[in-house]
């Protein structure tokens, strides 16, 4: 007997969601986008028509619906905590865009609430679902680059439109919460959660108070150094590298590979360069599939391990982001975006 598809509603009308995660939900064989909720009647009606779902006015309209099993939350960062909590309280599983919330305490509280209610709460770091990272980690663990000494990661892109929500401090904007979180989570993926913040700098807009760029220095419990850079003031870059005692491994387009792109792992030794071409993968489709599988496992009473997005790593990411913000030296940019 074929199981009915997981019925999902989107809480919000994000343009990025419409380009990435919502198409993946719509294309999933075991999920269906039932509805989209928004505050503006005309906007949500047009958005819902474009994605082939029912339009609901008001986020709270999702909560009482018995025909909705799970909610996807692509709202501005500062709204995550309230609405994720409301969804969990109403008995719905949640797939939420990163960061889960804007504070470590709020993140831990949501993780605890989901666990207490037997619900799935997944932070949508889609990049973790791409197989290229498992291949890289296997090569490092096998000793292909020798003993790991240094990790570096960058995720940057050019300035956004002046009215972009990521320039709104009151809505949880800023480069650290938007792209810095990727570099932190990548460091956790390879170095573990036992990381310490050794230093940081945040380039902060003097008018809005929003950080536009930054760097952080972390160290693992076994002494591996991690250099992280992120921002909205650069030429595009999305990559990481692992430097060992015998070789250096780099991966470009690490966080945002196109579904049809075939990643290239580059290993450089003193007198040799080796490149390995991997298979293309759709990381957003993989993320939706992982969410559906986690929900089915939870509903069966036999939840499966979910290492890339587990609760401990989710909370630790929030703690590290908070520590970076607290300890950063702030450089003030004189001209507002």
Active site residues per annotation: 98
Triad 21, 22, 26: Cα angle to 5°: 120
Q: Which long-range contacts (CB under 8 A, 24 or more apart) does 260-266 make?
A: 263/130, 263/132, 265/132, 265/135, 265/136, 265/139
Main-chain phi, psi angles of 84, to 5 degrees: -65, -45
Main-chain phi, psi angles of 315, to 5 degrees: -65, -40
Residue carrying structure tokens 């791409």: 130
Task: Tell me the H-state helices in 172-282.
Answer: 175, 181-191
């Amino acid at each position: 007997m074929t199981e009915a598809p997981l019925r999902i509603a989107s809480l919000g009308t994000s343009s990025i969601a419409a380009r990435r995660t919502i198409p993946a939900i719509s294309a999933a064989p075991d999920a269906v986008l039932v509805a989209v909720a928004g505050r503006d009647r005309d906007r949500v009606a047009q958005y819902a028509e474009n994605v082939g779902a029912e339009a609901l006015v008001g986020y709270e309209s999702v909560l009482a619906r018995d025909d909705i099993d799970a909610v996807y939350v692509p709202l501005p960062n500062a709204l995550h905590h309230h609405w994720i909590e409301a969804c969990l309280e109403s008995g719905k599983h949640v797939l939420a865009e990163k960061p889960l919330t804007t504070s470590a305490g709020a993140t831990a509280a949501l993780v605890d609430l989901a666990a207490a209610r037997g619900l799935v709460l997944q932070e949508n770091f889609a990049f973790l679902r791409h197989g290229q990272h498992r291949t890289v980690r296997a090569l490092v663990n096998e000793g292909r680059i020798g003993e790991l000494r240094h990790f570096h990661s960058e995720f940057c892109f050019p300035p956004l439109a002046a009215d972009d929500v990521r320039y709104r401090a009151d809505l949880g904007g800023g480069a650290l919460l938007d792209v810095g979180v990727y570099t932190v989570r990548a460091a956790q993926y390879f170095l573990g959660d036992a990381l310490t913040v050794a230093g940081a700098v945040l380039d902060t807009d003097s008018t809005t108070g929003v950080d536009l760029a930054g760097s952080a220095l972390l160290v693992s419990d076994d002494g591996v150094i991690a250099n992280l850079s992120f921002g909205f003031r650069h030429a595009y870059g999305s990559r990481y590298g692992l430097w060992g005692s015998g070789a250096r491994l780099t991966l470009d387009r690490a966080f945002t590979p196109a579904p049809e792109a075939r990643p290239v792992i580059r290993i450089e030794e003193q007198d040799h360069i080796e490149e390995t071409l991997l298979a293309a993968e759709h990381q957003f489709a993989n993320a939706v599939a992982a969410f559906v599988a986690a929900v089915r496992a939870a509903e069966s009473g036999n939840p499966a391990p979910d290492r890339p997005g587990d609760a401990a790593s989710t909370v630790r990411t929030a703690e590290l982001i908070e520590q970076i913000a607290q300890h950063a030296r702030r450089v003030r940019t004189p001209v507002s975006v």
